[in-house]
A and B are shown apart, each in its own frame.
Chain A
Amino acid sequence: DGGITQSPKYLFRKEGQNVTLSCEQNLNHDAMYWYRQDPGQGLRLIYYSQIVNDFQKGDIAEGYSVSREKKESFPLTVTSAQKNPTAFYLCASSLSAGGKEDYTFGSGTRLTVV
């Protein structure tokens, strides 16, 4: 079955620690995205990548970093510079970055600062 796999489902981070969230897709999609979801708010874009070896900052990129070395993979690192990282993180992909392309979302990673 084609889809997006996010891991882990739950992640706990200590103060000052960097953590990396995994996102893998086997849909042969060119574009991939990372969103953050907080209670009572709409999803906010952190980073996106339209093609391998290229990525762009979204609306709330500060304190986060990404890489896109393979088409299938788009890991997100939450650095110690992100002061309020507790949230639900969603990875998505689409065939291309424009127009009417549908997005496929992963099941999410819930990150909690302890």
Chain B
Amino acid sequence: KNQVEQSPQSLIILEGKNCTLQCNYTVSPFSNLRWYKQDTGRGPVSLTIMTFSENTKSNGRYTATLDADTKQSSLHITASQLSDSASYICVVRGGGYNKLIFGAGTRLAVHP
């Protein structure tokens, strides 16, 4: 079954600290992997899109990694800010119909 699992479900960190969010997937065939940021009550906003051949991609303080062999991805946030408080959603495009398969997200709270 094509699935995307994210961990942890929720995370609390102090402002200025770093954190890493995990994503494991069982989607096959694989097309690409995306990370989105979703503020409460808003739509998701794209952070990165990575294909099979891309191991790392950065967007400011956000760095995503992809290991296509182990089917794992991570999103690393450096020097967190209060505005980083949001849900982070891992999405894999693939499967028989090449559609987007969404993880349930990790809810991050950054405290002062």
Contact = CB atoms under 8 A, between A and B. Distances in A.
Interface of A: 4, 6, 40-45, 88, 90, 92, 98-100, 102-108, 110
A4 B51 CA distance: 26
Given A44-B102, A100-B31, A107-B41, 8 more contacts: A41-B104, A42-B89, A43-B102, A45-B99, A90-B43, A100-B32, A103-B46, A108-B41
Nearest to A94: B100
A42 B102 contact: yes
11 contacts: A4-B43, A6-B43, A42-B105, A43-B44, A43-B100, A43-B102, A92-B43, A100-B31, A100-B51, A105-B45, A107-B43
A98 B100 CA distance: 10
Nearest to A92: B43
B94 to A, nearest CB: 11
Contacts of B98: 98
B24 to A, nearest CB: 13
> Top 10 closest A-B pairs, CB basis?
A105-B43, A42-B102, A43-B102, A42-B104, A105-B44, A107-B43, A106-B43, A102-B46, A107-B42, A90-B43
A42 B4 contact: yes
A104 to B, nearest CB: 8
B108 to A, nearest CB: 16
Nearest to B39: A107
A43 B45 CA distance: 14
B68 interface: no
Interface in B1-34: 4, 31-32
Interface in B70-108: 89, 93, 98-105
Nearest to B42: A107
B41 A110 contact: yes
B100 A45 contact: yes
B110 interface: no
